[in-house]
Amino acid sequence: MTDLTDLTLAEARDALKAKQASSTEITGAFLKAMEAARGLNAYVLETPEQALAMAKASDEKLARGQGGALEGLPLGIKDLYATKGVRTTAGSNILCNFVPAYESTVTSQLWRDGAVMLGKLNNDEFAMGSSNETSAFGPVSSPWRREGSNAALVPGGSSGGSSSAVAARLCLGATATDTGGSIRQPAAFTGTVGIKPTYGRCSRWGIVAFASSLDQAGPIARTVRDNAILLRSMAGHDPKDTTSVDIAVPDYEAAVGRSIKGMKIGIPKEYRVDGMPAEIEALWGKGAEWLKAAGAELVDVSLPHTKYALPAYYIVAPAEASSNLARYDGVRYGLRVPGKDIQEMYEKTRAAGFGKEVRRRIMIGAYVLSAGYYDAYYVKAQKIRTLIKRDFEEVYAQGVHAILTPATPSAAFGIGEKGGADPVEMYLNDVFTVTVNMAGLPGIAVPAGLSSEGLPLGLQLIGRPFDEETLFSVAEVIEQAAGRTRLPDAWW
């Protein structure tokens, strides 16, 4: 074996089972890689001692022929997930010193199944961003560069630490979260695979909330199969989250490689947006052809309310965020900046604790919920949300199994390149992904090729509620047809 970090999660699993490698060896290889890759700023906290202890315990289990589905497999954890005894910041100064006394449901399921924690991954502050530039820990660099350029590129966001770490082979897979595209867009930018499951598929308990009705946990990993393996452990009903749904978790991996013959794949005309680069359009067409070649039937579908999704999203998400982030007040935990009275303490704490983008969204949220504006903004946005949902329901009622769209309107851009003057420029990154969150549907981003500048481009598949299996089957066809992305060699 050349380099253990080159293994996919499935390959590593099989190698461990076959005793070709130990978890301690694999974990050690990743810890070494992480140390060498600190320049990427993907990890905000490395937990080598914990990792090696977990690896050792896994090796003992594996030696006895025991172990769970993820036994001994080292993962990175987005810093939005509360990890017991391990600092959890959500990428924010306001939680700079916060060490939870509890473990999120999703991560506790990963540890239950034997996974090993390498550390906590960078993300946009409170998951608000599409480039991982809003993190209090500074931006994350993508391991990708444009051909012939050394300019640092963003890994997407908000799960930029996750996507960068997976692409740079600093973990076998990573947890991520997706409120408007925060799994799929970074996956698309880094040539990795990421799935946002159906709202309610994974428990939100113990994940720092951004927008409760949109937030959903999911994995980013190198292959479709790796995603399927991880999601099976992450998903499931949790009585502590009443919005999680009590539906049995299928063996997603079994869906990988399943024939898609006879499946109807919808191609929504509304996703052909103005100013979309020709190469994205071409990639989309190529993806459709691959699916057709695999026996699927392509159907033109219409999702007429798509164009309202982004503005409506930027009302609903900040509204919920403004309320969800009210608890960061300096009273009980996290940052506290003293003031002459409670009011001043609040103001100073929150001014120092929250970055610019978070403050902007809190203000937008407070505004759209305020008396006199509530009906014009929040209520209207919720109505649009219902219409978006109905659009999808009507398409699925026509027998469509999944919908194929581009994942992003462009390839990755440079750090500092976008959103400086106009935040909407940044928000437009989510134009293809927010609809899926607004409708609560599952969506997967899968690499489909490279741009003219040699950067990865992804396609998105949108599924029926709780039909992640179909997404894995269809995404696997694309992955096979496109050929596995060759991840960049280490320059860092």
Give the residue numbers marked as catalytic: 78, 158, 182
**Do 354 and 395 contact (CB within 8 A), yes or no?**
no
- Whichever of 269 and 327 has its CB closer to other proteins, that residue is 327
Task: Look at residue 77 and give its three-state secondary structure.
Answer: strand
**Do 415 and 122 contact (CB within 8 A), yes or no?**
no
Determine how many CB atoms are found less than 10 A away from the CB of residue 155: 35
CB of 100 to other proteins, least distance (A): 7
Task: Look at residue 315 and give its three-state secondary structure.
Answer: helix
CB of 336 to other proteins, least distance (A): 12
CB of 351 to other proteins, least distance (A): 14
CB of 198 to other proteins, least distance (A): 15
- Whichever of 217 and 231 has its CB closer to other proteins, that residue is 217
Give the strand pairing for 74-78 and 173-178. Answer: parallel
Provide DSSP, 194-222: EEE--TTSB--TTBPPS-TTT-EEEEEES
CB of 49 to other proteins, least distance (A): 24
Omega before residue 163 within 30° of 0, cis: no
- Whichever of 208 and 475 has its CB closer to other proteins, that residue is 208
Residue with tokens 């820990």: 137
- Which tokens belong to 192? 């990795």
Distance CA 485, CA 143 (A): 13
Report which of 207, 185, 244 is spatially closest to residue 83, judged by C-alpha positions: 207
- Whichever of 91 and 266 has its CB closer to other proteins, that residue is 91
Report which of 299, 263, 266, 251 is spatially closest to residue 474, judged by C-alpha positions: 263
Distance CA 208, CA 213 (A): 13
- Whichever of 377 and 472 has its CB closer to other proteins, that residue is 377
Report which of 472, 392, 474 is spatially closest to residue 434, judged by C-alpha positions: 392
**Residues interacting with other proteins, by CB under 8 A?**
81-82, 88, 90, 95, 98, 100-102, 104, 204-209, 211-213, 239-243, 319-320, 322-323, 325-327, 329, 331-333, 342, 346, 366, 369-371, 374, 378
CB of 299 to other proteins, least distance (A): 33
**Do 273 and 409 contact (CB within 8 A), yes or no?**
yes
